[in-house]
Amino acid sequence: MGKGNSDSLQLQIPQELKRKLAMDAAKEGVTIRSLILSALAAAGYDVPDDEIRDKRKGRQ
């Protein structure tokens, strides 16, 4: 899953769930993306560690 193999996924979720994800991500100091990818990895999906890592500038 390198840079050239990334794709975008957009979905509608309840506002309260998005707030909860944002709060949990902030508590852990990660992005919502990282939080979701970690959950997918924990569920058994093949998610490389470098994809889970926070890719915001200065956060690696």
The pLDDT tens digits of the residues spanning 25-35 come to 999 999 999 99
Domain range summary for the chain, segments of one domain joined by +: 13-44
Of 56, 4, 2, 48, the C-alpha closest to 29 is 56
Work out the pLDDT band at 22, boundaries 50, 70, 90: very high
pTM of the model: 0.79
* Spatial separation of the C-alpha atoms in residues 22 and 33, rounded to whole Å: 10
DSSP string, 11-58: ----HHHHHHHHHHHHHHTS-HHHHHHHHHHHTT----HHHHS--STT
CB 35 within 8 A of CB 25: yes
- Average pLDDT for 21-25: 98
pLDDT of amino acid 44: 98
